[in-house]
Structure 1
Amino acid sequence: MGTSLSELLAAAQPADAAEAGAAAAPVAAPQYDPECAAKLDRARGAILRLMQERRPRFVAAFEQMTLDGHAIRLRVPTPELREEMLRSKTAMLLRIAELAGVTGMIDLEIAVDETVRAARPIRLEDRVKHLTDKNPLLTELRRALDLEVE
């Protein structure tokens, strides 16, 4: 009726052996495009336009980006901006790789440097444009309520 402890342990041995074999399997090293830095440098303008369209807050950091092999290095003024950038890191890097024609992986390194200031502040018009691009109904709401942008 019952099962002994030794029978349970014996039955569990093959599963443990399979897990050990899977853990010992070599993991492929990430593949990097040998011309990554050159491709990213050629696509710098397109990357800046992409950031202007999709992530205006990131433009100042990408204007001062440095390229080192397969890594993009950015400096930002606040830890909050760094965290925001890290949250959207994967989507940004996929889009950047597509724009630049990079076939391998790209690394993104973001350092907080409080001496860095934006080349130009984000203007109210930029904020309004970004919000209305995200939701075109805001324009109708402003018009219906007769609101002025201040």
Structure 2
Amino acid sequence: IRGGADVLVLCEVLDTDLTPHPSNTRAELRSVVERFGAQEPVFGIEQEYTFFRGSRPLGFPENGFPAAQGGYYCGVGADEIFGREIVEAHLAHCLAAGLGICGINAEVMPGQWEFQVGPLSPLEVSDQLWVARWLLYRTAEDFG
């Protein structure tokens, strides 16, 4: 996001005695990977999300609802796709950060999108998903 020599850091949460905090599900995953890592599992994860303007999804008319499903899914055109500029900026930030993001697409409702991360090992895909989520949140901030 800042460019240059800046880096993003994902930290694991530990208690003061350096044991995993109860909310640290990454530590649980690491123990599973240690048990089954020889099988070399890989995962791809889809993250769906919806942009809102106020209390309404982006692209919804002020009164009522949008047209029925149809052209929104993987669509094009200003009358069917809302938020693409945020999605494209997010993709650029993920790629610049070296994340294994492998796709983006509009979903079935105005303002609804998804991105895909992977295929990667369990810890890599999980860590990268969290960083990609943070980047999405931070990128959207720039667009109000």
Q: TM range, normalised to the smaller chain?
A: 0.3 to 0.5
Structure with a larger share of its residues in helix: 1
Name the TM-score, length of structure 1 as normaliser: 0.33
Pair member with larger Rg: 1
Name the TM-score, length of structure 2 as normaliser: 0.34
